């Protein structure tokens, strides 16, 4: 009997991949190994409805799904090393216990990210990062007794957490060293437009200033800024980015991508790594894009797309009839849904199509070609641009 197909990481990528493999007719043994004790769940609600207390159940599939699909789901188990020559992984129970060697025919790595911390944040209660369900619950449990919060970092997670904490009645300040929220993802002009949504609802946004320390002995009391300001805080949330989880690859010889291109596991355009029969998907994976450029993406739709592509590649399914992929992500901040279709880039030209102070639509272009549309509260106007993005439409045609 041939060895099992083994997937490391029981998050969105792992859960989607097992479903895709079964849907495409794979009948062999499937092992899904996950470090967390929970069955695979969805992360986007963690910074939104879970934090505000409006949602508790975020499981991607009910437990029975894995039984019905004959998936050997092993939660609370951590893969600690890989031997590509022997086609085996070492698996250890997170709670301690004996390590086991598991053989694979094909191995797919979907181990996601770990949130970054700050050296001076260590060991202080009231300081949080947000990646897991447990992280969200730990933060949620402190909201009731708190009146002030400082969010460090105005990326998507920082902005969403700020909106959720503000919705719960906390006085929230977001501190961001760049000149606008979301400046890296959307550029300064559009980031500033998103920042207005927060400012209008009472969130203080302090841009262009770094954090120098977190005050308080055991429990946080505030945050000090490079300009000498001290902000009081019962809660501090670090939203300063994440790093790919690749520690278990040490000694495996599996190549990593350059940090300049986002790091993570280096893959070709269908997710193959440098080791035979080993693929990587999701936030941890650095795939080559259609121009051969390595890039790592940290958005939900990208994971779903990569899981499907890898299933096709492994099973040899012809995907020439598949709907062409256009990158998409969304972010809910207060009642406003910010959406992006295409590849918005901070260096692109920005064209404001409409803007009423909260809701807006913006087109991006590079070298005269339409590259992305970003909207706030404008789902229809964003989604209808899909074909124009695929056609690489000259921006002049759209600006009329
Ligand atoms: C708070 C939050 C909000 C988000 N909101 C949005 C949003 O609004 N829109 C959007 O487009 N995207 C959003 N995202 C991003 C989206 O959720 C991610 O892109 C997606 O979850 C990535 O899936 P993944 O399978 O690659 O990684 P994950 O979902 O992180 O799963 C990886 C799993 O692998 C496990 N693992 C790691 N190492 C090992 C090991 N050695 N052995 C076994 N298991 C291991 C981890 O414990 C984890 O459970 C959000 C993410 C977060 C954290």
Please tell me the total count of domains within the chain: 3
pLDDT for the residue numbered 289: 87
Cβ(170) – ligand 1 distance below 6 Å: no
Q: Is the pLDDT of residue 213 over 80?
A: yes
pLDDT at 205: 97
- Give the mean pLDDT of 229-254: 98
171 vs 198: CA distance, rounded Å: 12
Residue 241 in 3-state DSSP? coil
| Atom 23 of ligand 1, residue of closest alpha carbon | 12
Task: Supply the CATH number for residue 225's domain.
Answer: 3.50.50.60
Q: In this prediction, what percent of the chain has a pLDDT beyond 90?
A: 94
Q: Per-residue pLDDT for 212 more than 90? A: yes
Q: Is residue 291 part of a domain?
A: yes
- Collect all residues with Cβ–Cβ distance below 8 Å to 366 and sequence separation of at least 6: 345, 347, 348, 349
Residue 327 to residues 18, 102, 110, 280, 304, Cα–Cα distance (Å): 22, 35, 19, 18, 11
Please indicate, yes or no, if residue 380 is contained in any of the structural domains.
Answer: yes
Mean pLDDT of the chain: 96
Residues 107 and 248 in one domain: yes
Range of the domain at 363: 335-399
Rounded to the nearest whole angstrom, what is the distance from the C-alpha of residue 112 to the centroid of ligand 1?
5
Comparing C-alpha atoms, which of 119, 195, 106, 208 is closest to residue 158? 195
Give residue 181's pLDDT. 97
Over residues 272-295, mean pLDDT = 95
Whole-angstrom distance, CA of residue 21 vs CA of residue 32: 12
Q: How many whole angstroms from 35 Cα to the centroid of ligand 1?
A: 12
Same domain for 127 and 107: no
Q: Give yes or no for residue 299 CB within 6 A of ligand 1.
A: yes
Compute the distance between CA of residue 176 and CA of residue 215 in angstroms, rounded to an integer.
Answer: 18
CATH code assigned at 389: 3.30.390.30
Q: How confident is the model at residue 391 (pLDDT cuts 50, 70, 90)?
A: very high
Taking the centre of ligand 1 as the mean of its atom positions, its distance from the CA of residue 157, in whole angstroms, is 12
Decide: residue 213, CB within 10 A, 0-12 exposed, 13-18 middle, 19+ buried. Answer: middle
What pLDDT was estimated at residue 272?
Answer: 98
230 & 126 share domain: yes
Q: Is 301 exposed, middle or buried (0-12, 13-18, 19+ CB in 10 A)?
A: middle
Structure confidence at residue 1 (pLDDT): 56
Kindly report, residue by residue over 314-359, the tens digit of the pLDDT: 999 988 878 889 999 999 999 999 999 999 999 999 999 999 998 9
The rounded Å distance from CA 258 to ligand 1 centre is 21
Last residue of a domain, one of 238, 254, 270: 238
The token duo for 370 is: 């339409």
Q: Is the CB of 304 under 6 A from ligand 1?
A: no
Taking residues 130-159, report their average pLDDT: 97
Task: Assess whether pLDDT exceeds 90 at residue 139.
Answer: yes
Find all residues with CB under 8 Å of 233, minimum gap 6, and list them.
126, 148, 149, 150, 173, 220, 221, 222, 223
Q: What whole-number percentage of the chain has pLDDT above 70?
A: 100
User: 110 to each of 10, 91, 168, 244, 269, how far by Cα in Å?
Assistant: 7, 15, 34, 10, 16
Same-domain check for residues 159 and 206: yes
Beta carbons of 344 and 309 less than 8 angstroms apart: no
One domain for residues 230 and 130: yes
Say yes or no: 381 and 300 in one domain: no
- Sign for the pseudo-dihedral over CA of 335, 116, 283, 35: negative
């Amino acid at each position: 009997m041939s060895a099992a197909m083994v997937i490391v990481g029981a998050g969105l990528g792992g859960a989607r991949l097992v479903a895709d493999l079964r849907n495409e007719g794979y009948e062999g043994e499937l092992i899904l190994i996950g470090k967390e004790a929970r069955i695979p769940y969805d992360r986007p609600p963690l910074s939104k409805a879970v934090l505000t207390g409006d949602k508790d159940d975020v499981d991607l599939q009910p437990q029975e799904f894995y039984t019905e699909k004959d998936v050997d789901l092993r939660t609370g188990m951590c893969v600690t090393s890989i031997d590509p020559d022997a086609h085996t992984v070492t698996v250890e129970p997170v709670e301690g216990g004996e390590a086991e060697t598991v053989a694979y025919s094909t191995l797919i790595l979907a181990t996601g990210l770990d949130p970054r911390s700050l050296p001076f944040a260590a060991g202080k209660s009231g300081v949080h990062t947000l990646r897991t369900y447990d992280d969200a619950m730990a933060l949620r449990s402190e909201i009731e007794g708190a009146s002030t919060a400082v969010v460090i970092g105005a990326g998507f997670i920082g902005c969403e957490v700020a909106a959720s904490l503000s919705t719960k009645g906390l006085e929230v300040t977001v501190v961001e060293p760049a000149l606008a929220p979301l400046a890296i993802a959307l550029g300064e002009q559009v980031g500033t437009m998103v920042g207005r949504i927060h400012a209008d609802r009472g969130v203080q946004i302090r841009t262009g200033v770094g954090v120098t320390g977190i005050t308080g002995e055991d429990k946080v009391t505030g945050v000090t800024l490079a300009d000498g300001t001290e902000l009081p805080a019962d809660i501090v949330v670090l939203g300063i980015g994440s790093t790919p989880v690749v520690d278990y690859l040490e000694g495996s010889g599996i190549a990593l991508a350059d940090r300049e291109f986002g790091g993570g596991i280096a893959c070709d355009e269908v997710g193959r790594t440098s080791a035979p029969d080993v693929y990587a998907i999701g936030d941890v994976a650095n795939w080559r894009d259609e121009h051969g450029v390595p890039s790592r993406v940290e958005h939900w739709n990208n994971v779903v797309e990569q899981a499907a592509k890898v299933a096709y590649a492994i099973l040899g399914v012809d995907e020439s009839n598949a709907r062409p992929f256009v990158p998409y992500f969304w972010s809910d901040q207060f009642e406003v849904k910010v959406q992006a279709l295409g590849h918005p880039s901070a260096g692109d030209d920005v064209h404001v199509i409409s803007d009423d102070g909260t809701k807006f639509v913006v087109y991006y272009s590079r070298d005269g070609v339409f590259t992305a549309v970003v909207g706030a509260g404008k789902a229809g106007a964003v989604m209808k641009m899909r074909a124009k993005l695929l056609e690489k439409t000259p921006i002049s045609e759209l600006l009329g």
